[in-house]
Structure 1
Amino acid sequence: MTDVALAHGRLAGLDEIVDVGRDAGRGGWSRHVWDAAETELRTWFVERAERLGLDVETDRNGNLWAWWGAPGPDAVVVGSHLDSVPGGGEMDGPLGVVSALDAVALLQAQGVRPTRPFAVVVFAEEEGSRFGIACLGSRLLTGSVSPDRVRALRDADGVTFAEAAAAHGTDPRHVGADPDRLARIGVFVELHVEQGRALADLDGPLAVASGILAHGRWRIDFTGQGNHAGATRMTDRRDPMVAAARGILAVRDAVRGDDRATIGRIEAVPGGTNVIPSRVTTWLDARSDLDDDTRDLVARITASATEAAAAEGCDARVTEESWSGRVVFDPALRDRLAAGLGGVPALPTGAGHDAGVLAGHVPTAMLFVRNPSGVSHAPEEHAELADCVEGVVALTTVLRGLL
């Protein structure tokens, strides 16, 4: 354990960035692509990587690559992301980045030098919290999302992706599929804090990922008649807020078996306390084991939203914003990693990751570090120091076998 840099009972890298993006209002951390906090984390990553002798570059989609040696084909790539959901946990993303850099430091201390190209990557906008599409950097890299659509995306302040990219040195004219860079990747490994409590229940510090549930995001717009809150009788209203409330309850009732469906965001227009809104928009996150099961779940929710709106004299429209089909990680690579780490378990996850996007293009694997609380996307997300160190050592072992 002493070979891993520690500070104040934590990984030293995490200690260096612990105050970046603290959110006094929500609790936890808020770090969104190209905002002040995430930009500070990018600067930290460049400085930390350069201290290790790595050469850092930014690709056409705003992803950061730190190369140990010259870039080239059949590269081993490890990494994660630095952004967060609003008021999220400190380890979702950064633990994987810090652990990757710590693994490089350990390998260097052990005298290891790569025999094939190697890079640590930081993907942009993994959470989708600013522009609404999760894993945006890896989706752009792989060509799984339209550049024109991405350039036009707007954040809550009306800033387009194109404007934000240009302001931070990424030319929006060139965002999109990067086949030459993608072709360089021979294997990708992402370490991540577990977003659930399977390892806590198994009483083990580490696991490999077997797959990711099918999941997506949908916008549900309820439209009615804006009006005066005091001058409009209840019987005369076409109130989309009431329709949205009925629709939200119907989301819960549409779930079957191991489905998961969540309304995590709601927005009323125009948003005045004494105004009946003209439109209420909710955002749905839906997940299930199989693609068809997830689509069936959304179809039930769509039917319920339409019925709820009609009951209030309103309309409902459901629009898909992102979709990720079920992912099965490379079985041979998964089994190789599990065996090399002493037979750690293979676990599915309901959380999306950049590794899931890359899995359709290159051999990909994930390592999970135990989260004793089982809580993620919230300030209570946690991993014990000993387990974090186990993760760094495990990642180092994996890299020695791949390099």
Structure 2
Amino acid sequence: MPFTEEDQAAREYLLHEMHSIGLETRVDEASSVCGVRPGNTDKSHAVVMGSHYDTVINGGAYDGILGVVCGLEVLRVLHENQVQLSKPVELIAFNDEEGVRFNRGFTGSKAIIGHVTDEDIWKTRDRQGISLGQAMQQAGFDPTLIGKVQREPEQISAYVELHIEQGPVLEAEQLDIGVVTTIAGTWRTFVEIIGRPDHAGTTPMHMRKDPLVAAAQLIAKLPGFAHLVDPQGVATVGIVNVEPNVANVVPAKVTFSLDIRSQFGGAARQVTARVIEEARSICGDQLECNIRMAMEEEPVHTDHHIQQVIEDAAKENGYAFKRMFSGAGHDAQIMALLCPVGMIFVPSRSGRSHSHLEYTTPEAIAKGAQVLLDAILTLAK
């Protein structure tokens, strides 16, 4: 998790690997690890590879970090073969993409585009009440300097991210490469329903103000809400906290997360609004319903030119591919607000991700890395 001892160990490892292939390295104040191979003639307009090195609780070994490792391998090949390119090639390993600790996500990439605010830093807190800013300070970073992380559009000419698909499509269709065209938008909300704690044995059912019953009624309706606007839209409740969480007490308060995703602009927002409307209707005047928005990210389309570069690389290597959208969020969707972006997917076995069963074969990884290398050679020449 971000800003922990394990997190620091990961940064030290990445810096060691970057140094070993002659990269100019630094760790920015958002804890992203950056390694640059200078260009021959163009000292700015870097071609950037990137992904994240944080993960979810009980997650696998491929989500995010695979893109970082493949980026390292591309730079190793360039270094060992003394390949000369006009533009700089940079690898950025972002931190806190998942948002597991602070329930916001994309801290590293949002800092790059200048979208981390003082409110984000000091009012966003983990379950222990530690703010993002305090966690940064404890890890040796200065949150007052996070503004210095921001890049300008003229500094980056393209961003390319390799990632596991995190879904079953490529494997099911026996394809090697996914060329991502759209990254789904995500609206993440926390719903708090407050009732009245009472004795579980002596309070008649019709006299209870039970927030858990209301939450359950709403959650059961989510499958219907998910497809209101987008037939491929999804809705997920991944966190449920019940207070006081005691077997013989009618709950006093329930807080749960609501994650709505869609490939269509405005769709996740519309579904979220409809779910909130339903929540207030279920609660009526017997229960208090409070809403807190945690993430509002609209869908992003990848750059058509970079899509074609990735597709051409797959064709030249004889790899089977398809154009597809991503239901998961990625740092690429944040970087798209700064520069043209592209994404390469490699297959996930059985579509598993955010699980210890996450797996991608070495052969599939090698094909993805080859496509990434060829794309970088084209974009940075």
TM-score by length of 1: 0.87
Q: Which runs of 5+ in 2 are unaligned?
A: none
Q: Which runs of 5+ in 1 are unaligned?
A: 1-31
Question: Which of 55, 76, 90 is matched with 1:84 structurally?
Answer: 55
After superposition, the C-alpha distances for 1:96-151 in whole angstroms (9 at most, x for unaligned) are: 01111111112222221332222110111000111111212112221334232333
Superposition pairs of residues 313-328 of structure 1, within 5 angstroms: 313-328=286-301
Aligned match of 1:38: 7
After superposition, the C-alpha distances for 1:339-364 in whole angstroms (9 at most, x for unaligned) are: 13217322111110000111122011
Q: Are 1:61 and 2:30 matched, yes or no?
A: yes
Superposition pairs of residues 347-358 of structure 1, within 5 angstroms: 347-358=324-335
Superposition pairs of residues 90-109 of structure 1, within 5 angstroms: 90-109=61-80
C-alpha distance 207-83 of structure 1, shift in aligned 2 (>3 A): same
Task: Give the C-alpha shift of residue 373 in structure 1.
Answer: 1.1
Question: Which of 331, 343, 364 is matched with 1:366 structurally?
Answer: 343
Q: Are 1:330 and 2:277 matched, yes or no?
A: no
Q: Which range moves more in the overlay, 133-142 or 325-334?
A: 133-142
Aligned match of 1:232: 203
Measured in 1, the distance between the counterparts of 2:218 and 2:148 equals 37
After superposition, the C-alpha distances for 1:275-334 in whole angstroms (9 at most, x for unaligned) are: 3332110001101221222222112211221222238x2122222211111111011121
Task: Give the C-alpha shift of residue 51 in structure 1.
Answer: 1.3
Helix, strand or coil: the match of 2:48?
strand
Superposition pairs of residues 306-317 of structure 1, within 5 angstroms: 306-310=280-284, 313-317=286-290
Aligned match of 2:142: 171
Superposition pairs of residues 145-224 of structure 1, within 5 angstroms: 145-176=116-147, 178-180=149-151, 183-224=154-195
Task: Give the C-alpha shift of residue 181 in structure 1.
Answer: 5.5
Q: Which range moves more in the overlay, 128-137 or 177-186?
A: 177-186
Alpha carbons 1:141, 1:182 under 8 Å: kept: no
Identity across aligned pairs (percent)?
Answer: 29
Question: Which of 268, 275, 278 is matched with 2:249 structurally?
Answer: 275
After superposition, the C-alpha distances for 1:45-82 in whole angstroms (9 at most, x for unaligned) are: 11111111222211232211112238942011112111
Alpha carbons 1:211, 1:347 under 8 Å: kept: yes
Query: What code does the residue aligned with 1:226 have?
Result: P
Helix, strand or coil: the match of 1:342?
helix
Q: Which range moves more in the overlay, 268-277 or 244-253?
A: 268-277
Query: What code does the residue aligned with 1:73 have?
Result: S
The CA RMSD measured in Å over matched residues stands at 2.0
Alpha carbons 2:310, 2:375 under 8 Å: kept: yes
Alpha carbons 2:225, 2:275 under 8 Å: kept: yes
Measured in 2, the distance between the counterparts of 1:50 and 1:179 equals 23
TM-score by length of 2: 0.91
Alpha carbons 1:286, 1:298 under 8 Å: kept: yes
The list of structure 1 runs, each at least 4 consecutive aligned residues, that deviate by more than 6 angstroms after superposition, is none
Aligned match of 1:396: 373
Alpha carbons 1:147, 1:176 under 8 Å: kept: no
Helix, strand or coil: the match of 1:154?
coil
Alpha carbons 2:187, 2:269 under 8 Å: kept: no
Aligned match of 1:384: 361
Helix, strand or coil: the match of 2:350?
coil
Measured in 1, the distance between the counterparts of 2:122 and 2:351 equals 36
Aligned residues: 371
Alpha carbons 1:250, 1:304 under 8 Å: kept: no
